[in-house]
């Protein structure tokens, strides 16, 4: 058992190993205490839960394991889900036999290493469009706490549990540019807007997701041409999604330092068609004398016709491939 594998060690004097560990923890959490994956304030905590809640390192490990396990559950093949669940139950039973902090710490280290080595468990690259709040960058979807700043690779144990269900919709090699959510269909249900893009000139993908009755995510529709590509030396790009009361607008810009254009593609939900439909396209020029005199274009369904979000082709507009 894990307890038999642990050799007792004496705490190193302050100023050596333990000081380093404390500094590392403070750096990771930014001065905030690390919470376990469960509520340490609830009544009736078990003996092991009390051990975890009174140790900042164990609380951090519990949170890390919860995240990586959520990623594992989201990415494991259907035929292996039962085995994964059983292995977690077995691990919990073994952990609960521990009598002290060191044993619990070793149990978490072993389980995190085991799940991290699973071939289906992967990290995610982010380059998020964030909004700024009073305390810094804030997530665009309040229930999914994504606040990673800049272009960054995030390991499974650092991915918020609430994001794990989105990982199967992120193609390998793609970055997550955006994740927003809003209840704008008119029926109370929430829509999730997941924007991903491969680097080096590929247009991005906008996937519209919703929750199934069991809480899992399901793909409603996607469009592979509507998000500006990422090309070195090109200004502009994907600017974000503006959400209104009854729809959303995908905003892109394209051009150079001398001038360019901005594009807004607006969609609304059709209860008749049970899907998102193109409502209008707004195009405006900027930045040089020719652009400044070019009239803005406002195209509506009168000229565009009835076009589903999934069928809309942005190729005629210079935002997909420069």
- Per DSSP bridges, beta strands 124-126 and 175-182 are parallel
Burial pattern 161-171, b for ≥16 Cβ within 10 A else e, equals bebbbbbebbe
Axis crossing angle, helix 17-29 with helix 56-75, rounded to the nearest 10: 50
Quick one: CA torsion of 28, 32, 35, 39, rounded to 10 degrees?
A: -170
Give the mean pLDDT of the chain.
83
Positive or negative: CA dihedral 38, 43, 46, 50? positive
- Three-class secondary structure of residue 244 per DSSP: coil
What per-residue confidence (pLDDT) applies to 11? 32
Distance of CA 59 to the CA centre of its chain: 23
- The residues, any chain, with a CB within 8 Å of residue 109's CB and separated by 6 or more, are 61
The tens digit of pLDDT for each residue in 145-188 reads 999 888 999 999 999 999 999 999 999 999 999 999 999 998 88
How would DSSP label each residue in 2-27?
Answer: HHHHPPP-PPPPTTSHHHHHHHHHHH
Place of tokens 């979000």: 309
Q: Tokens 């292995």 correspond to what residue?
A: 87
- Is pLDDT above 90 for 135? no
What does the pLDDT average to over 228-233? 67
The per-residue pLDDT for range 236-289, each reduced to its tens digit, is: 588 999 999 889 999 988 776 567 788 899 999 999 999 999 999 998 877 665
- Chain Cα centroid distance, residue 130: 12
Q: What average pLDDT does the segment 35-46 reach?
A: 90
- Give the span between the Cα atoms of 112 and 74, in whole angstroms: 16
Q: What is the pLDDT of residue 319?
A: 57
pLDDT band at 15 (very low <50, low <70, confident <90, very high): very low
**24: Cβ contacts below 8 Å, ≥ 6 apart:** none
* Strand, coil or helix: 130: coil
* pTM (predicted TM-score): 0.82
Contact 94, 107 (CB under 8 A): yes
Amino acid 168: pLDDT: 95
Which pLDDT belongs to residue 234?
54
């Amino acid at each position: 058992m894990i307890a038999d594998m642990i050799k007792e060690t004496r705490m190193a004097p302050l100023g050596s190993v333990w000081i380093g560990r404390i500094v590392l923890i403070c750096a990771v959490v930014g001065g905030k205490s690390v919470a376990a994956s469960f509520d340490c304030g609830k009544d009736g905590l078990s003996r092991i839960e009390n051990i975890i809640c009174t140790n900042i390192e164990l609380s951090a490990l519990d949170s890390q394991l919860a995240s990586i396990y959520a990623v594992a559950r989201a990415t494991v093949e259907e035929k292996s889900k039962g085995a994964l669940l059983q292995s977690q139950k077995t691990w919990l039973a073994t952990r609960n036999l521990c009598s002290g902090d060191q044993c619990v710490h070793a149990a978490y280290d072993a389980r995190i290493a085991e799940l991290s080595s699973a071939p289906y468990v992967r990290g995610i690259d982010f380059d998020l469009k964030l909004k700024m709040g009073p305390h810094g960058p804030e997530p665009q979807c309040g229930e999914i706490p994504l606040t990673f700043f800049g272009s960054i690779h995030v390991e499974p144990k650092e991915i918020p549990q609430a994001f794990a269900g989105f990982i199967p919709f992120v193609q390998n090699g793609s970055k997550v540019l955006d994740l927003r959510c809003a209840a704008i269909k008119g029926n109370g249900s929430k829509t999730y807007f997941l924007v991903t893009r491969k680097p080096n000139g590929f247009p991005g993908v906008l996937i519209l997701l919703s929750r199934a009755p069991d809480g899992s995510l399901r793909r409603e529709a996607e469009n592979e041409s509507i998000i500006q590509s990422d090309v070195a030396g090109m200004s502009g790009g994907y600017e974000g999604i503006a959400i209104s009361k009854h729809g959303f607008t995908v905003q892109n810009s394209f051009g150079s330092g001398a001038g360019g254009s901005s594009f807004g593609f607006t969609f609304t939900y059709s209860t008749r068609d049970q899907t998102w439909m193109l409502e209008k396209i707004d195009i405006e020029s900027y930045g040089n004398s020719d652009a400044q005199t070019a009239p803005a274009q406002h195209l509506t369904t009168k000229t565009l016709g009835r076009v589903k979000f999934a069928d809309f082709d942005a190729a005629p507009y210079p935002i997909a491939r420069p």
